Structure 1
Amino acid sequence: MNEEKITALEKKIQKEHGNIAGMVVLKDGRTVYENYFNGCGADDTIHVFSVTKSIVSILAGIAIDRGYIGSVAQKVLDFFPDYTVKRGEKTIQTITLKNLLTMTAPYKFRSAPYTRFFSSEDWVMAALDLLGGRKPAGEFRYMEMIGPDILSGILSNATGQPVLDFAREALFEPLHIAVASNIVLYTPQEHVAFIKKNCASGWVADEKGHNTAGWGLTLTAVDMAKIGQLYLDGGKWEGRQIVSEEWVAESTAEHSRWEKEKLSYGYLWWTGILNGYAAMGNSGNIIYVNPADKMVVSIAALFKPTAKDIMEFIEKDIKPLFCGAEG
């Protein structure tokens, strides 16, 4: 690889994407680029924000593969038999797992009641209480934090174990990914401090031990690249089928669309992204997979509310530089 071009790329990272902590580029299954910034290193885990959602999607696929969950057509309330539906509520009884995975579930609020939600000890039940409302299921409505946690409750109830335990056995350990432990945030101040912390470690959970499904997971840039390569290889890792090829294809196909932003959505994966698909999180965190070019780009980024468009950076600077790379 031309050292001058690499130097130019890294200067652009420092100038325009100064919150990047680590970046890995894989081509044809080999690492063609790996570097770290902001004092971070290969072993530093970063809060990847909504990339967490795509990890939860993989776990849902594994649970279906193993028979813990029948299909995405199952009703959400099938997994919560003790939940009491309030009088007159009908919509919540129609909502399926697929609605949660495709962001087409309705909710009873216009603006997210974060304070009330996060002050609850049980975020799964708090999210269930907000699920439904007057609108029927089917319209795309992106839920950053409130809503996806219901998937955490579904996975726990279906598999009979905490999500982190299931994730370790089914996904993380086979890929040699280490997620230390649960992180419980008891106060708003702790919540803000976690988001702003440069090198956090673990997976956020509520006081009941339910792991977050929309945010809160910490990974290294290499961990993220492994997830991308797993999907690029049809769910296989080191010769072992971790998640079915059918789920990989189904979860990265378009099932819904955010018309306002002109973005298509699969099962907690953004689809139709530069001839590929991506797990995307706040501040430029991303796992980008391009099957045609056999390319994976993972970027772990520190919190920055005004981060520049990471997809434009991949399209204009990373792809042209590495798609023909031989290492």
Structure 2
Amino acid sequence: MTSRRVIVAGGLSALTFIGAGGRAADMADWPVASPESQGINKVALDGILDPAKILNLATSLYTLRSLVVVRNGFLIEERYYAGSKASTLRNIASITKSVSSILVGIALEQGKFRSLNQTIAELLPEAAARVPTSAVNGVTLAQILTQTGGFPDDRQSDTRGLEPQVLDVPLQPATPPVWRYSSAAVSLIGPILARAVGRSVEDFARASLFSPLGIGDYDYDWRRDAIGHVRSDSGLRLRARDLARLAWTMVDGGRWRGRQVVPAQWVAESTRRHIALGWQVGPMTNIDYGYLWFTGMLHGRVVNLAWGYGAQFALMVPSLNMVVVTLADAPGAKELAKQAAEVMGLTAQIVELAG
């Protein structure tokens, strides 16, 4: 068994950060500022992010690999642990769903959808015609975005292809609608988007979102399903700072460096509560669901959250003009809840320094 001492020593030697000790390489793509210039006590921040604390096996924080803090549009802190670095692509897991929500909003603004009330039968007519009696054909795009389409919990969607596994799945409808987390349902957004915009989801994302944000072709990787399409529910790999770009763009009303990339109305609509959940994760309370985004309260402030398996967090605090991104290794299933609570607790400590 590897000792705590070995892991901490290895983490210290592998640590990269833009605080004390210098800037990480390749900072030209973000305006950088010191924590103090943006109202953050650097000594306190260094204490929170002390690698001896982060890599302590007594907590789940030892799984943390990347952390980025943005305030007022400036990158003020960036740290990497246990071999990760600024250029490392990390699997953001179900944060991919929030990226898919952004793409739906852009396509809606471009007139590619008539409304969110369009059904699968309208959006995927050829595929729906092959399973004409499927109840899935009546599910709307809005129901997919809010996870209220009646799909059973989280069936995988990439083993047999789109039509046999997802379009013909037995639904569990309920009145009023019941929230069930279904990656299978969200996997339908991929083919829906591709048909609506007339090109692959990856091409659309590159032209409409990634390129405007300065995310280059080698700055991401996207897992594909069994029939070769990028997955809209999971599997996007990004650098931590590029996930922070996406999150900051949402905080800034859909703008990146003054350019409107995501429609402002979609930013507001997708991050507000549509479905009440009432969850709590560590200090984040009153967690509800928007259009593939979570929303809640953190120490009295409204926050929005893109959340992926294993404490992949992009936390947005609009009232403080602040973003905190964490990317981590997923622990064993029994430790997931503890990990999420502790990483959220760490994030909350950082946010409190701004308040």
| Contact in 2 for aligned 1:25/1:32 (Cα 8 Å) | yes
1:156 aligns with 2:194: yes
Distance between the aligned counterparts of 1:106 and 1:147, measured in 2?
Answer: 9
* Counterparts of residues 69-88 of structure 1 (less than 5 Å): 69-82=113-126, 83-84=128-129, 86=131
Distance between the aligned counterparts of 1:234 and 1:71, measured in 2?
Answer: 21
Deviates more, 1:297-306 or 1:247-256: 297-306
Name the amino acid aligned to 1:320: E
Deviation, structure 1 residue 38: 1.2
RMSD: 2.3
1:265 to 269, 286, 289: 289
Assess, with a 3 A threshold, how the Cα gap between structure 1 residues 8 and 96 changes in structure 2: closer, same or farther: closer
Query: 1:248 — aligned with what?
Result: 267
Distance between the aligned counterparts of 2:179 and 2:322, measured in 1?
Answer: 29
Query: 1:142 — aligned with what?
Result: 181
Assess, with a 3 A threshold, how the Cα gap between structure 1 residues 129 and 240 changes in structure 2: closer, same or farther: same
Deviation, structure 1 residue 3: 3.4
Distance between the aligned counterparts of 2:251 and 2:279, measured in 1?
Answer: 29
Unaligned ranges ≥5, structure 2: 1-40, 281-285
Query: 1:101 — aligned with what?
Result: 145
Assess, with a 3 A threshold, how the Cα gap between structure 1 residues 65 and 40 changes in structure 2: closer, same or farther: same
Name the amino acid aligned to 1:312: G
**Identity %, equivalent residues:** 31
* Counterparts of residues 182-193 of structure 1 (less than 5 Å): none
Query: 1:319 — aligned with what?
Result: 351
SS at match of 2:85: coil
| Contact in 2 for aligned 1:141/1:258 (Cα 8 Å) | no
SS at match of 2:231: coil
Query: 1:227 — aligned with what?
Result: 246
Deviation, structure 1 residue 88: 5.3
| Contact in 1 for aligned 2:68/2:78 (Cα 8 Å) | yes
Query: 1:166 — aligned with what?
Result: 204
Distance between the aligned counterparts of 2:131 and 2:163, measured in 1?
Answer: 16
* Counterparts of residues 26-41 of structure 1 (less than 5 Å): 26-41=70-85
TM-score (norm 1): 0.83
Distance between the aligned counterparts of 2:154 and 2:70, measured in 1?
Answer: 38
1:299 to 297, 301, 326: 326
Distance between the aligned counterparts of 2:288 and 2:116, measured in 1?
Answer: 19
SS at match of 2:213: coil
Query: 2:214 — aligned with what?
Result: 176
Larger Rg: 2
Name the amino acid aligned to 2:249: L
Query: 1:278 — aligned with what?
Result: 305
Deviation, structure 1 residue 207: 3.4
2:234 to 215, 224, 247: 215
Deviation, structure 1 residue 202: 1.2
Residues 159-213 of structure 1, C-alpha deviations (whole Å, 9 max, x = no match): 11111111111101111113549xxxxxxxxxxxxxxxxxxx6111123222112
Assess, with a 3 A threshold, how the Cα gap between structure 1 residues 206 and 5 changes in structure 2: closer, same or farther: closer
Unaligned ranges ≥5, structure 1: 182-200
Distance between the aligned counterparts of 1:26 and 1:80, measured in 2?
Answer: 39
Deviates more, 1:171-180 or 1:227-236: 171-180
Q: How many residues end up aligned between the 2 structures? A: 296
Deviation, structure 1 residue 283: 1.1
Deviation, structure 1 residue 215: 1.1
Name the amino acid aligned to 1:14: L
Name the amino acid aligned to 2:319: A
TM-score (norm 2): 0.77
Deviation, structure 1 residue 72: 1.2
